Protein backbone atom coordinates (compact mmCIF):
# COMPACT_ATOMS: atom_id res chain seq x y z
CA UNK A 1 0.00 0.00 0.00
CA UNK A 2 1.43 3.39 -1.00
CA UNK A 3 2.08 5.83 1.86
CA UNK A 4 -0.42 8.68 2.28
CA UNK A 5 1.15 12.14 2.00
CA UNK A 6 -0.14 15.31 3.58
CA UNK A 7 -0.45 16.88 0.13
CA UNK A 8 -2.83 14.04 -0.84
CA UNK A 9 -5.23 15.09 1.92
CA UNK A 10 -5.14 18.89 1.81
CA UNK A 11 -4.12 21.70 -0.51
CA UNK A 12 -0.58 22.08 0.85
CA UNK A 13 2.91 21.66 -0.58
CA UNK A 14 4.04 19.17 2.03
CA UNK A 15 4.78 15.51 1.30
CA UNK A 16 5.17 14.37 4.92
CA UNK A 17 3.85 10.85 5.40
CA UNK A 18 0.59 10.68 7.37
CA UNK A 19 0.10 7.64 9.60
CA UNK A 20 -3.18 8.56 11.30
CA UNK A 21 -5.41 11.20 12.89
CA UNK A 22 -5.96 12.18 16.53
CA UNK A 23 -7.97 14.75 18.47
CA UNK A 24 -6.57 13.64 21.85
CA UNK A 25 -2.96 14.76 22.24
CA UNK A 26 -2.24 11.71 24.43
CA UNK A 27 -3.06 9.43 21.49
CA UNK A 28 -0.79 11.19 18.98
CA UNK A 29 1.93 9.00 17.46
CA UNK A 30 4.60 9.83 14.90
CA UNK A 31 3.15 10.92 11.57
CA UNK A 32 -0.31 11.83 12.91
CA UNK A 33 -2.43 14.83 12.00
CA UNK A 34 -3.63 16.50 15.22
CA UNK A 35 -6.97 18.32 15.43
CA UNK A 36 -6.82 21.22 17.89
CA UNK A 37 -10.38 22.41 18.56
CA UNK A 38 -12.02 24.52 21.22
CA UNK A 39 -14.44 22.32 23.20
CA UNK A 40 -16.85 22.77 26.10
CA UNK A 41 -14.33 21.49 28.65
CA UNK A 42 -10.91 21.86 27.01
CA UNK A 43 -9.20 23.96 24.35
CA UNK A 44 -7.25 21.69 22.01
CA UNK A 45 -4.91 24.55 21.16
CA UNK A 46 -3.45 24.21 24.68
CA UNK A 47 -2.09 20.79 23.71
CA UNK A 48 -0.54 21.61 20.33
CA UNK A 49 3.04 21.70 21.65
CA UNK A 50 2.64 18.29 23.30
CA UNK A 51 1.12 16.80 20.13
CA UNK A 52 4.09 18.06 18.10
CA UNK A 53 6.52 16.60 20.65
CA UNK A 54 4.77 13.27 20.25
CA UNK A 55 5.34 13.34 16.48
CA UNK A 56 2.42 15.18 14.86
CA UNK A 57 3.39 16.25 11.32
CA UNK A 58 0.47 18.66 10.98
CA UNK A 59 -2.00 20.50 13.18
CA UNK A 60 -5.47 21.47 11.97
CA UNK A 61 -6.52 24.52 13.95
CA UNK A 62 -7.98 28.02 13.72
CA UNK A 63 -5.82 30.64 11.93
CA UNK A 64 -5.05 32.31 15.27
CA UNK A 65 -3.53 29.16 16.81
CA UNK A 66 0.19 29.07 17.58
CA UNK A 67 1.84 26.10 15.87
CA UNK A 68 5.61 25.45 15.80
CA UNK A 69 7.45 22.38 14.58
CA UNK A 70 4.64 21.05 12.37
CA UNK A 71 2.55 22.21 9.43
CA UNK A 72 -0.29 24.51 10.51
CA UNK A 73 -3.38 23.79 8.42
CA UNK A 74 -5.45 26.84 9.27
CA UNK A 75 -9.19 27.07 8.73
CA UNK A 76 -12.00 29.13 10.31
CA UNK A 77 -13.86 25.81 10.66
CA UNK A 78 -11.00 23.50 11.64
CA UNK A 79 -13.33 20.61 12.54
CA UNK A 80 -14.73 20.59 9.00
CA UNK A 81 -11.26 20.58 7.38
CA UNK A 82 -10.07 17.86 9.77
CA UNK A 83 -13.11 15.71 8.91
CA UNK A 84 -12.55 16.18 5.18
CA UNK A 85 -8.90 15.12 5.45
CA UNK A 86 -9.67 12.17 7.73
CA UNK A 87 -12.33 10.91 5.32
CA UNK A 88 -9.78 10.77 2.50
CA UNK A 89 -7.32 8.95 4.78
CA UNK A 90 -9.73 6.29 6.09
CA UNK A 91 -11.69 5.58 2.87
CA UNK A 92 -13.11 3.37 1.41
CA UNK A 93 -16.38 3.01 3.32
CA UNK A 94 -19.48 0.80 2.92
CA UNK A 95 -21.38 1.40 -0.32
CA UNK A 96 -24.78 2.15 1.22
CA UNK A 97 -24.95 4.47 4.23
CA UNK A 98 -27.96 6.29 5.71
CA UNK A 99 -28.20 8.73 8.63
CA UNK A 100 -31.07 9.52 11.00
CA UNK A 101 -31.58 12.69 13.03
CA UNK A 102 -34.33 13.84 15.41
CA UNK A 103 -34.81 14.18 19.15
CA UNK A 104 -36.32 10.76 19.85
CA UNK A 105 -36.39 7.48 17.95
CA UNK A 106 -32.95 7.61 16.31
CA UNK A 107 -31.61 4.49 18.04
CA UNK A 108 -34.66 2.36 17.29
CA UNK A 109 -34.84 3.59 13.68
CA UNK A 110 -31.22 2.84 12.77
CA UNK A 111 -31.38 -0.54 14.47
CA UNK A 112 -34.64 -1.47 12.74
CA UNK A 113 -33.12 -0.35 9.43
CA UNK A 114 -30.19 -2.69 10.09
CA UNK A 115 -32.56 -5.54 10.94
CA UNK A 116 -34.68 -5.10 7.80
CA UNK A 117 -31.58 -4.92 5.60
CA UNK A 118 -30.33 -8.14 7.22
CA UNK A 119 -33.66 -9.87 6.56
CA UNK A 120 -33.31 -8.81 2.92
CA UNK A 121 -29.91 -10.51 2.74
CA UNK A 122 -27.55 -7.56 3.22
CA UNK A 123 -24.60 -7.59 5.61
CA UNK A 124 -25.45 -4.53 7.69
CA UNK A 125 -24.59 -2.51 10.80
CA UNK A 126 -25.92 0.34 12.89
CA UNK A 127 -23.93 3.01 14.76
CA UNK A 128 -25.29 5.11 17.58
CA UNK A 129 -26.20 5.19 21.26
CA UNK A 130 -25.94 1.40 21.51
CA UNK A 131 -22.48 1.46 19.89
CA UNK A 132 -21.64 -0.41 16.68
CA UNK A 133 -24.09 -3.26 16.14
CA UNK A 134 -23.82 -6.00 13.52
CA UNK A 135 -25.57 -9.36 13.28
CA UNK A 136 -22.65 -10.89 15.17
CA UNK A 137 -21.48 -8.30 17.66
CA UNK A 138 -22.03 -5.05 19.54
CA UNK A 139 -19.21 -2.67 20.52
CA UNK A 140 -19.99 0.31 22.75
CA UNK A 141 -18.60 3.73 21.76
CA UNK A 142 -20.07 5.76 24.63
CA UNK A 143 -21.60 8.48 22.44
CA UNK A 144 -24.60 8.72 20.12
CA UNK A 145 -22.30 10.12 17.44
CA UNK A 146 -18.66 9.19 18.27
CA UNK A 147 -15.72 11.50 17.51
CA UNK A 148 -14.84 11.86 13.82
CA UNK A 149 -11.73 9.65 14.03
CA UNK A 150 -13.64 6.82 15.73
CA UNK A 151 -16.59 7.25 13.36
CA UNK A 152 -14.53 7.06 10.16
CA UNK A 153 -12.29 4.30 11.51
CA UNK A 154 -15.42 2.29 12.40
CA UNK A 155 -16.86 2.88 8.93
CA UNK A 156 -13.64 1.75 7.26
CA UNK A 157 -13.48 -1.29 9.55
CA UNK A 158 -17.03 -2.29 8.65
CA UNK A 159 -16.10 -2.07 4.96
CA UNK A 160 -13.13 -4.39 5.57
CA UNK A 161 -15.49 -6.83 7.34
CA UNK A 162 -17.57 -7.04 4.16
CA UNK A 163 -20.48 -4.95 5.49
CA UNK A 164 -22.12 -3.00 2.70
CA UNK A 165 -25.05 -1.29 4.49
CA UNK A 166 -24.77 1.02 7.53
CA UNK A 167 -27.35 3.19 9.32
CA UNK A 168 -26.07 5.72 11.86
CA UNK A 169 -27.51 8.22 14.32
CA UNK A 170 -26.67 11.86 13.59
CA UNK A 171 -27.00 13.74 16.88
CA UNK A 172 -27.15 17.53 17.09
CA UNK A 173 -23.80 17.56 18.92
CA UNK A 174 -22.24 15.34 16.27
CA UNK A 175 -23.57 17.45 13.40
CA UNK A 176 -22.58 20.73 15.06
CA UNK A 177 -19.04 19.46 15.68
CA UNK A 178 -18.57 17.84 12.24
CA UNK A 179 -18.35 14.36 13.80
CA UNK A 180 -20.43 12.64 11.10
CA UNK A 181 -18.80 13.87 7.89
CA UNK A 182 -17.02 12.43 4.94
CA UNK A 183 -19.17 9.39 4.07
CA UNK A 184 -21.47 9.61 1.05
CA UNK A 185 -25.07 9.18 2.14
CA UNK A 186 -27.70 7.33 0.12
CA UNK A 187 -30.48 8.68 2.36
CA UNK A 188 -31.17 10.77 5.45
CA UNK A 189 -34.17 10.74 7.79
CA UNK A 190 -35.94 12.99 10.30
CA UNK A 191 -37.96 11.42 13.16
CA UNK A 192 -39.26 14.28 15.34
CA UNK A 193 -38.21 17.37 17.28
CA UNK A 194 -38.73 18.38 20.91
CA UNK A 195 -36.84 19.90 23.82
CA UNK A 196 -33.44 18.45 24.65
CA UNK A 197 -29.77 19.47 24.93
CA UNK A 198 -30.44 23.11 25.83
CA UNK A 199 -27.39 22.89 28.08
CA UNK A 200 -25.42 22.84 24.79
CA UNK A 201 -27.60 24.74 22.31
CA UNK A 202 -28.63 28.26 23.31
CA UNK A 203 -32.17 28.01 21.90
CA UNK A 204 -34.57 25.52 20.35
CA UNK A 205 -34.01 27.16 16.97
CA UNK A 206 -30.24 26.71 17.30
CA UNK A 207 -30.83 23.07 18.26
CA UNK A 208 -33.03 22.60 15.18
CA UNK A 209 -30.47 24.26 12.88
CA UNK A 210 -27.79 21.87 14.15
CA UNK A 211 -29.95 18.91 13.15
CA UNK A 212 -30.71 20.45 9.75
CA UNK A 213 -27.03 20.37 8.79
CA UNK A 214 -27.75 16.74 7.87
CA UNK A 215 -30.20 17.92 5.19
CA UNK A 216 -28.55 21.24 4.25
CA UNK A 217 -24.89 20.22 4.00
CA UNK A 218 -24.04 16.60 4.80
CA UNK A 219 -26.44 14.94 2.36
CA UNK A 220 -25.55 15.56 -1.28
CA UNK A 221 -28.26 16.58 -3.77
CA UNK A 222 -29.91 13.47 -5.18
CA UNK A 223 -29.86 11.52 -1.92
CA UNK A 224 -33.23 10.46 -0.51
CA UNK A 225 -34.82 12.30 2.43
CA UNK A 226 -37.29 10.37 4.59
CA UNK A 227 -39.45 12.65 6.75
CA UNK A 228 -41.97 11.67 9.44
CA UNK A 229 -44.86 14.01 8.63
CA UNK A 230 -46.66 14.22 11.96
CA UNK A 231 -44.31 16.57 13.86
CA UNK A 232 -44.80 20.36 14.07
CA UNK A 233 -41.37 20.82 12.43
CA UNK A 234 -41.94 18.30 9.64
CA UNK A 235 -43.01 20.90 7.05
CA UNK A 236 -39.84 22.91 7.70
CA UNK A 237 -37.73 19.77 7.19
CA UNK A 238 -39.57 18.99 3.95
CA UNK A 239 -38.84 22.53 2.69
CA UNK A 240 -35.13 22.09 3.51
CA UNK A 241 -35.02 18.73 1.73
CA UNK A 242 -36.58 20.18 -1.42
CA UNK A 243 -34.26 23.21 -1.34
CA UNK A 244 -31.23 20.90 -1.18
CA UNK A 245 -32.49 18.81 -4.12
CA UNK A 246 -33.10 15.65 -2.10
CA UNK A 247 -35.58 12.98 -3.23
CA UNK A 248 -38.45 13.37 -0.77
CA UNK A 249 -40.13 10.33 0.84
CA UNK A 250 -42.73 10.93 3.57
CA UNK A 251 -44.21 8.57 6.14
CA UNK A 252 -46.89 8.95 8.82
CA UNK A 253 -50.57 9.80 8.93
CA UNK A 254 -49.92 12.42 6.23
CA UNK A 255 -47.24 10.39 4.48
CA UNK A 256 -47.24 9.79 0.75
CA UNK A 257 -44.66 6.98 0.61
CA UNK A 258 -46.12 4.99 3.51
CA UNK A 259 -49.32 6.32 5.10
CA UNK A 260 -50.46 5.19 8.54
CA UNK A 261 -54.23 4.67 8.39
CA UNK A 262 -54.82 3.06 11.77
CA UNK A 263 -53.08 1.33 14.67
CA UNK A 264 -54.63 -0.95 17.28
CA UNK A 265 -52.76 -2.15 20.41
CA UNK A 266 -52.56 -5.88 21.06
CA UNK A 267 -51.31 -7.69 24.21
CA UNK A 268 -47.79 -8.04 22.78
CA UNK A 269 -47.64 -5.25 20.19
CA UNK A 270 -49.94 -3.54 17.72
CA UNK A 271 -51.59 -3.91 14.33
CA UNK A 272 -50.82 -1.20 11.76
CA UNK A 273 -53.03 -0.45 8.77
CA UNK A 274 -50.83 1.06 6.04
CA UNK A 275 -51.23 2.47 2.54
CA UNK A 276 -48.45 2.17 -0.05
CA UNK A 277 -48.95 3.01 -3.72
CA UNK A 278 -52.73 3.04 -3.29
CA UNK A 279 -52.86 -0.46 -1.79
CA UNK A 280 -53.72 -1.21 1.85
CA UNK A 281 -51.66 -3.55 4.00
CA UNK A 282 -51.90 -4.85 7.57
CA UNK A 283 -48.76 -5.33 9.68
CA UNK A 284 -48.68 -7.14 13.03
CA UNK A 285 -45.86 -5.23 14.73
CA UNK A 286 -44.37 -7.18 17.67
CA UNK A 287 -43.50 -3.98 19.58
CA UNK A 288 -45.32 -2.24 22.44
CA UNK A 289 -45.83 1.52 21.95
CA UNK A 290 -47.73 3.65 19.46
CA UNK A 291 -44.59 5.65 18.63
CA UNK A 292 -42.84 2.48 17.42
CA UNK A 293 -44.94 2.81 14.26
CA UNK A 294 -42.99 5.95 13.34
CA UNK A 295 -39.66 4.19 13.90
CA UNK A 296 -40.49 1.11 11.83
CA UNK A 297 -42.11 3.14 9.02
CA UNK A 298 -39.09 5.47 8.83
CA UNK A 299 -36.78 2.44 8.77
CA UNK A 300 -38.89 0.80 6.05
CA UNK A 301 -38.72 3.94 3.90
CA UNK A 302 -34.92 4.09 4.31
CA UNK A 303 -34.69 0.50 3.06
CA UNK A 304 -36.99 1.36 0.13
CA UNK A 305 -34.77 4.37 -0.61
CA UNK A 306 -31.74 2.09 -0.80
CA UNK A 307 -33.19 -0.42 -3.24
CA UNK A 308 -35.46 -2.64 -1.15
CA UNK A 309 -38.60 -4.03 -2.77
CA UNK A 310 -41.85 -3.21 -0.97
CA UNK A 311 -42.97 -6.83 -0.79
CA UNK A 312 -39.80 -7.81 1.06
CA UNK A 313 -39.74 -4.70 3.25
CA UNK A 314 -43.39 -5.16 4.23
CA UNK A 315 -42.74 -8.77 5.25
CA UNK A 316 -39.71 -7.77 7.32
CA UNK A 317 -41.57 -5.00 9.22
CA UNK A 318 -43.59 -7.60 11.10
CA UNK A 319 -40.43 -9.42 12.21
CA UNK A 320 -38.36 -6.61 13.76
CA UNK A 321 -37.06 -7.29 17.27
CA UNK A 322 -37.21 -4.91 20.26
CA UNK A 323 -34.23 -2.61 20.73
CA UNK A 324 -32.25 -2.75 23.99
CA UNK A 325 -33.55 -0.28 26.55
CA UNK A 326 -36.48 0.88 24.41
CA UNK A 327 -39.64 -0.31 26.16
CA UNK A 328 -37.73 -3.47 26.94
CA UNK A 329 -39.61 -5.85 29.24
CA UNK A 330 -37.04 -6.66 31.90
CA UNK A 331 -38.95 -8.97 34.25
CA UNK A 332 -42.35 -9.79 35.71
CA UNK A 333 -42.54 -9.20 39.47
CA UNK A 334 -43.52 -11.88 41.96
CA UNK A 335 -46.98 -10.32 42.04
CA UNK A 336 -47.35 -10.50 38.26
CA UNK A 337 -46.54 -6.89 37.29
CA UNK A 338 -44.36 -6.51 34.16
CA UNK A 339 -41.43 -4.08 34.43
CA UNK A 340 -40.43 -2.09 31.34
CA UNK A 341 -37.16 -0.20 30.90
CA UNK A 342 -37.00 2.81 28.57
CA UNK A 343 -34.40 5.43 27.71
CA UNK A 344 -36.96 8.30 27.85
CA UNK A 345 -35.14 11.31 29.32
CA UNK A 346 -37.10 14.25 27.87
CA UNK A 347 -40.71 15.32 28.56
CA UNK A 348 -41.86 14.24 25.09
CA UNK A 349 -40.10 10.88 25.26
CA UNK A 350 -41.47 10.21 28.74
CA UNK A 351 -44.99 11.05 27.56
CA UNK A 352 -44.57 8.71 24.57
CA UNK A 353 -43.33 5.84 26.75
CA UNK A 354 -46.21 6.23 29.20
CA UNK A 355 -48.73 6.51 26.36
CA UNK A 356 -47.27 3.33 24.87
CA UNK A 357 -47.91 1.35 28.05
CA UNK A 358 -51.29 2.85 29.01
CA UNK A 359 -53.45 0.60 26.76
CA UNK A 360 -51.92 -2.45 28.45
CA UNK A 361 -52.51 -1.31 32.06
CA UNK A 362 -55.39 -2.95 33.92
CA UNK A 363 -54.46 -1.59 37.35
CA UNK A 364 -51.93 1.20 37.96
CA UNK A 365 -49.03 2.57 35.96
CA UNK A 366 -46.08 3.13 38.29
CA UNK A 367 -43.38 5.37 36.80
CA UNK A 368 -39.87 5.56 38.27
CA UNK A 369 -37.52 8.20 36.85
CA UNK A 370 -35.06 11.00 37.56
CA UNK A 371 -33.10 13.62 35.63
CA UNK A 372 -29.44 13.73 34.67
CA UNK A 373 -27.05 16.15 36.32
CA UNK A 374 -24.90 18.68 34.43
CA UNK A 375 -27.54 18.72 31.71
CA UNK A 376 -30.51 20.88 30.66
CA UNK A 377 -32.17 21.90 33.95
CA UNK A 378 -35.25 23.37 32.26
CA UNK A 379 -36.71 19.98 31.36
CA UNK A 380 -36.78 18.63 34.93
CA UNK A 381 -40.06 20.11 36.18
CA UNK A 382 -41.83 19.42 32.83
CA UNK A 383 -40.77 15.77 33.11
CA UNK A 384 -42.27 15.69 36.59
CA UNK A 385 -45.48 17.24 35.28
CA UNK A 386 -45.79 14.68 32.47
CA UNK A 387 -45.15 11.74 34.79
CA UNK A 388 -47.61 12.88 37.48
CA UNK A 389 -50.32 13.77 34.96
CA UNK A 390 -50.19 10.46 33.09
CA UNK A 391 -49.14 7.94 35.77
CA UNK A 392 -51.05 6.56 38.73
CA UNK A 393 -47.96 6.45 40.96
CA UNK A 394 -44.73 8.41 40.45
CA UNK A 395 -41.43 7.70 42.20
CA UNK A 396 -38.77 10.38 41.65
CA UNK A 397 -35.24 9.09 42.11
CA UNK A 398 -31.69 9.67 40.84
CA UNK A 399 -30.60 9.24 37.22
CA UNK A 400 -26.95 10.14 36.58
CA UNK A 401 -26.47 13.06 39.01
CA UNK A 402 -22.87 13.56 37.88
CA UNK A 403 -21.36 16.53 39.75
CA UNK A 404 -24.68 18.05 40.84
CA UNK A 405 -26.34 17.51 44.23
CA UNK A 406 -28.79 14.62 43.66
CA UNK A 407 -31.27 16.02 46.20
CA UNK A 408 -31.33 19.37 44.37
CA UNK A 409 -32.07 17.63 41.06
CA UNK A 410 -34.88 15.62 42.63
CA UNK A 411 -36.34 18.81 44.13
CA UNK A 412 -36.47 20.41 40.67
CA UNK A 413 -38.27 17.35 39.28
CA UNK A 414 -40.62 17.19 42.29
CA UNK A 415 -41.60 20.83 41.69
CA UNK A 416 -43.49 19.60 38.62
CA UNK A 417 -44.79 16.44 40.31
CA UNK A 418 -46.70 17.26 43.50
CA UNK A 419 -47.74 14.08 45.21
CA UNK A 420 -44.85 12.05 43.83
CA UNK A 421 -42.85 9.78 46.12
CA UNK A 422 -39.17 10.71 46.50
CA UNK A 423 -36.64 7.90 46.90
CA UNK A 424 -33.00 8.94 46.51
CA UNK A 425 -31.21 5.68 45.71
CA UNK A 426 -32.21 4.28 42.30
CA UNK A 427 -31.98 0.66 43.44
CA UNK A 428 -34.17 1.47 46.46
CA UNK A 429 -36.68 3.24 44.19
CA UNK A 430 -36.90 0.24 41.85
CA UNK A 431 -37.31 -2.08 44.83
CA UNK A 432 -40.09 0.13 46.22
CA UNK A 433 -41.93 0.07 42.88
CA UNK A 434 -41.76 -3.73 42.65
CA UNK A 435 -42.85 -4.06 46.26
CA UNK A 436 -46.00 -1.96 45.79
CA UNK A 437 -46.99 -3.36 42.36
CA UNK A 438 -49.74 -5.95 42.06
CA UNK A 439 -51.11 -8.05 39.21
CA UNK A 440 -52.59 -5.75 36.58
CA UNK A 441 -50.09 -2.98 37.35
CA UNK A 442 -47.20 -2.04 35.03
CA UNK A 443 -43.90 -0.49 36.13
CA UNK A 444 -41.95 1.88 33.87
CA UNK A 445 -38.28 2.54 34.71
CA UNK A 446 -37.42 5.57 32.60
CA UNK A 447 -34.30 7.56 31.81
CA UNK A 448 -31.39 5.12 31.59
CA UNK A 449 -32.60 2.45 29.18
CA UNK A 450 -29.65 0.49 27.81
CA UNK A 451 -27.08 2.15 30.09
CA UNK A 452 -25.07 -0.18 32.32
CA UNK A 453 -23.49 2.45 34.60
CA UNK A 454 -24.56 5.28 36.89
CA UNK A 455 -22.43 8.42 37.15
CA UNK A 456 -22.34 9.84 40.68
CA UNK A 457 -19.90 12.69 41.23
CA UNK A 458 -16.82 11.69 39.27
CA UNK A 459 -17.40 7.95 39.82
CA UNK A 460 -18.82 5.64 37.18
CA UNK A 461 -20.52 2.74 38.94
CA UNK A 462 -22.12 -0.42 37.50
CA UNK A 463 -25.91 -0.01 37.23
CA UNK A 464 -28.32 -1.61 34.77
CA UNK A 465 -32.04 -0.91 35.31
CA UNK A 466 -33.09 -4.23 33.75
CA UNK A 467 -30.60 -6.24 35.81
CA UNK A 468 -31.49 -4.42 39.04
CA UNK A 469 -35.20 -5.01 38.37
CA UNK A 470 -34.54 -8.74 37.95
CA UNK A 471 -32.50 -8.81 41.15
CA UNK A 472 -35.26 -7.00 43.07
CA UNK A 473 -37.91 -9.31 41.61
CA UNK A 474 -35.92 -12.33 42.76
**419 marked as part of a ligand binding site:** no
Residue 451, annotated as binding a ligand: yes
Q: How far apart are CA 67 and CA 158, in angstroms?
A: 35
145 is in an annotated binding site: yes
Instruction: Tell me if 103 is assigned to a ligand binding site.
Output: yes
| 452 marked as binding residue | no
From first CA to last CA, the distance across the chain in angstroms is 57
Is 105 annotated among the ligand-binding residues? yes
21, 24, 29, 33 alpha-carbon torsion, rounded to 10°: 30
25 is in an annotated binding site: no
Judge contact between 220 and 184, C-beta under 8 A.
Answer: yes
Residue 363 labeled ligand binder: no
Q: Is 144 assigned to a binding site?
A: yes
Question: Any binding-site annotation on 104?
Answer: yes
Instruction: Please tell me whether 229 is known to bind a ligand.
Output: no
Could you tell me where the beta strands, DSSP code E, fall in 93-223?
A: 96-101, 124-128, 131-134, 138-139, 165-169, 187-190
Task: Confirm or deny that 401 is annotated as ligand binding.
Answer: yes
Given a contact cutoff of 8 angstroms between Cβ atoms, the answer to whether 20 and 29 are in contact is yes
Non-local CB neighbours of 253 within 8 Å, separated by 6+ positions: 229, 230, 259, 260, 261
29 annotated as belonging to a binding site for a ligand:
no
Q: Rounded CA gap, 102 and 429, in Å? A: 31
* 177 is an annotated ligand-binding site residue: yes
User: CA 42 to CA 27: how far, in whole Å?
Assistant: 16
Q: 27 among the known binding-site residues?
A: no
- Cα distance between residue 356 and residue 263, in whole Å: 12
Q: For residue 106, say whether it is annotated as part of any ligand binding site.
A: yes
Q: Residue 433: phi, psi to the nearest 5?
A: -65, -45
Q: How far is C-alpha 56 from the geometric centre of its chain's CA atoms?
A: 32
In angstroms, the CA 423 to CA 162 distance is 49
Rounded-to-integer distance, Cα 190 and Cα 227, Å = 5
Ligand-binding site membership of 109 (annotated) = no
Q: How far apart are CA 335 and CA 440, in angstroms?
A: 9
Residues that constitute the known binding site for ATP: 102-108
Residue positions forming the annotated binding site for meso-2,6-diaminopimelate? 375, 399-402, 447, 451
Binding-site positions read 102-108, 144-145, 171, 177, 179, 375, 399-402, 447, 451
Amino acid sequence: MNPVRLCDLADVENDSEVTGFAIDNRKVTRGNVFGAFKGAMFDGEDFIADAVRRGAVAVVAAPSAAVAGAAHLADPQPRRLFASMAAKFFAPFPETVVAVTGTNGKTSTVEMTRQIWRMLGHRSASIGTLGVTTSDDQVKTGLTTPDIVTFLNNMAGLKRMGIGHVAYEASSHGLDQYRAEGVRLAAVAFTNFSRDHLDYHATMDEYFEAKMRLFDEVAEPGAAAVVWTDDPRSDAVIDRARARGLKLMTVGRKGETIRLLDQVPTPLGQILQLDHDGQQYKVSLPLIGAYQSSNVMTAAALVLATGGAWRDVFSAMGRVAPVRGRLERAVISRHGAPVYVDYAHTPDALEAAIAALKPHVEGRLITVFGAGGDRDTGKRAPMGEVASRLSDVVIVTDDNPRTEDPAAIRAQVMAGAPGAIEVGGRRQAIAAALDMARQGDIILLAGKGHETVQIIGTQTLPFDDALVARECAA
